[in-house]
Structure 1
């Protein structure tokens, strides 16, 4: 089980009682996903003991290569949004110590040599802009990228949610840097790289979402991924199975608020 998930929820909503009224515990300035990134952050957020346990578990698992999951998708594709929000992100939340996720926003888009935009997209110009925004966010926000993309894809308005999702999960990355990526040509270079990755797929993709595991695609993998990605990742991982996969209980130092 990904211990940091429980740690985040447990501490974020920690309250104390005073005169019969519950008051939220002040949060540190970092989002929960970053609490164990460094000793300094853990100390500031008062979770150093819990992070030591999380990191000890992670070290044991890192002796075996993680399962590499790559998603080729489109920002406004309904099926892609369902897969990201109902399969990929929940699985990664639980199993991120034994899996890596690479997001490639492009899908069924086409590169063209004329027009205002060098790309056309299956769901029109808004999707091309969504792909471009997400490519820039992935490039700029690094470790927080998946949380931001999930936040966008789970929103009613994918494009409209971009700025607030960025601020929530990567407050150190300014929206102006994303805007610069969109307008200076960097975004198109990133999209061209995504187009090249997508065209290089073997076998060629015929639809999205298109998912590869350790660089390989098969209809069997796809069927399993669409029904229960969690179990497939547990099955593909070659090392000792983490507690989340086996259902084993883990004895931790328990703390309460």
Structure 2
């Protein structure tokens, strides 16, 4: 990367007239525009400052993101609605300022069995399988959220899994996903989801359970499910982005309570 930057700088410098700044030089414009291009930065002698500024802005942009987490079950009707109609669309629109963490586990229970764990899910074995598939996907591909959206939007979550994976991550081997689901890796990943869910404060009472920047209150939960777009825009501390000029949300409340 440093070599590439050096070559770019040398290329630009070789094209700078030796007679000094011409009347049309970018340096004759306000300093706030000097970082608008590599050419401008080099001619005005502020390349280092521009690079440092861009790094700082990118760093802040990432760390200032509003952190939204969804604790859910793959076959819970309310969870599916919350993810497909609110959380996923909002994340797609506001991904620059919002991070979305998915934790498939919900109201499941785990029981130690030697070095492994057995899981019992609220909606039976099919849900345990769905939870496991989604957990493995989240740890195997950057396209996981898109695949999970495709699955949860389908009439049959489990049957849609492979075709959704092929659609959004064609290079992903389904055999490797199956190995994860059936093997020790998937078992341990699900155990980590169990630990994350059990560590929630306050303890979760239903799913979908949403946290914003690690915090859960009934007020935040209600806003997250009814007006997440507006909530994220209002909570983001960085420069306002054009998308935050408006928003809205659907109104519903369909939870699966712990039995």
- Normalising by the residue count of structure 2, what TM-score does the alignment of the two structures yield? 0.70
Corresponding residue number in structure 2 for 1:183: 182
Corresponding residue number in structure 1 for 2:250: none
Shift in Å, 1:113? 3.6
Corresponding residue number in structure 1 for 2:96: 97
Corresponding residue number in structure 2 for 1:169: 168
> What is the distance in 1 between the residues matched to 2:130 and 2:69?
19
Shift in Å, 1:170? 1.0
Shift in Å, 1:63? 6.4
Any conservation in 1 of the 2:105–2:131 contact (CA below 8 Å)?
A: yes
Aligned runs of 1:15-30 on 2, under 5 Å? Answer: none
User: Residue 160 of structure 1: SS of its match in structure 2?
Assistant: helix
Any conservation in 2 of the 1:61–1:240 contact (CA below 8 Å)?
A: no
Corresponding residue number in structure 1 for 2:84: 85
> What is the distance in 2 between the residues matched to 1:243 and 1:129?
40
Aligned runs of 1:200-211 on 2, under 5 Å? Answer: 200-211=199-210
> What is the distance in 2 between the residues matched to 1:148 and 1:216?
27
Any conservation in 2 of the 1:64–1:239 contact (CA below 8 Å)?
A: no
> What is the distance in 2 between the residues matched to 1:64 and 1:245?
18
Shift in Å, 1:59? 4.6
Shift in Å, 1:246? 1.6
Matched, 1:131 2:131: yes
Corresponding residue number in structure 1 for 2:121: 121
Aligned CA RMSD, in angstroms, stands at 2.1
Structure 1 residues 242, 160: closer, same or farther in 2, change over 3 A? Answer: same
Give per-residue Cα distances to partners, 1:122-178, cap 9 Å, x unaligned: 00110001101110111101x211101100000000000000111111112110110
User: Residue 234 of structure 1: SS of its match in structure 2?
Assistant: helix
> What is the distance in 2 between the residues matched to 1:241 and 1:60?
16
Give per-residue Cα distances to partners, 1:75-100, cap 9 Å, x unaligned: 00000000001000110111000011
Higher Rg of the two aligned structures: 2
Aligned runs of 1:1-257 on 2, under 5 Å? Answer: 59=58, 62=61, 65-113=64-112, 118-141=118-141, 143-247=142-246
> What is the distance in 1 between the residues matched to 2:59 and 2:196?
32
Shift in Å, 1:214? 0.8
Segments of 5+ residues of structure 1 without an aligned counterpart are 1-54, 248-257
User: Residue 140 of structure 1: SS of its match in structure 2?
Assistant: coil
> What is the distance in 1 between the residues matched to 2:234 and 2:60?
15
User: Residue 189 of structure 1: SS of its match in structure 2?
Assistant: helix
Segments of 5+ residues of structure 2 without an aligned counterpart are 1-53, 247-259
> What is the distance in 2 between the residues matched to 1:171 and 1:148?
11
